[in-house]
Amino acid sequence: MRTNLIFFFFVSMIILTGISKTSFAQENETKGEGAKVSNIHGIEVKDMDGKAVKLSDYKGKVLLIVNVASKCGYTKQYTGLEAIYRKYKDQGFEILAFPCNDFGGQEPGSNEEIAEFCSSRFDVTFKLFDKIEVLKNKAPLYAVLTDNPVTGTEDIKWNFEKFLIDKEGNIVSRYKSKVTPESEEMTSAIERLLIKK
């Protein structure tokens, strides 16, 4: 009887230790270092003047984040971006545009040249940020946008890829370059997020 009791005690301890280790491993997997995040509010970026901007400053706003270029076949999408910005800005919508020269050298200008181009050619009034890299030396924002549980781990393929972010800073969806800003797919998704409390 005593032998059975000792045996039962040891088996119980082994089982409890295994459960405890599994639980600890799962907790570290979801909360520990290297855990993938799908929220951008903890990230800081720079505006065109080099000043730091916390993305948490946009809490309560629906965001569309776009990597842009001035000499691309998709550059004409600035027109559509400006149109949806004007349509939805009073409802809590913002566009954050990040110039990028990673694809065919299609954004060679300085921040000043880019701002002048966008203003004079497309009458852009939404926010333009400091030129960044989205591939090799990936900016922290794009490290999260291209490696998260929501939109996956695919690198940016070209200029004018778009990410839709909800009011709490969560990544909601990703759109390839060919999806135009004024498309039903894009505007209906924006409208759904804007009415969501």
Half-sphere exposure of 151 (CA within 13 A, CB side): 23
* Cα 71 from Cα 99, distance rounded (Å): 11
Contact 48, 128 (CB under 8 A): yes
Catalytic residue of the set 55, 72, 81, 145? 72
Distances (CA, A) of 141 to 58, 147, 189: 14, 10, 21
Q: Catalytic residue at 118?
A: no
Residues tagged active-site: 72
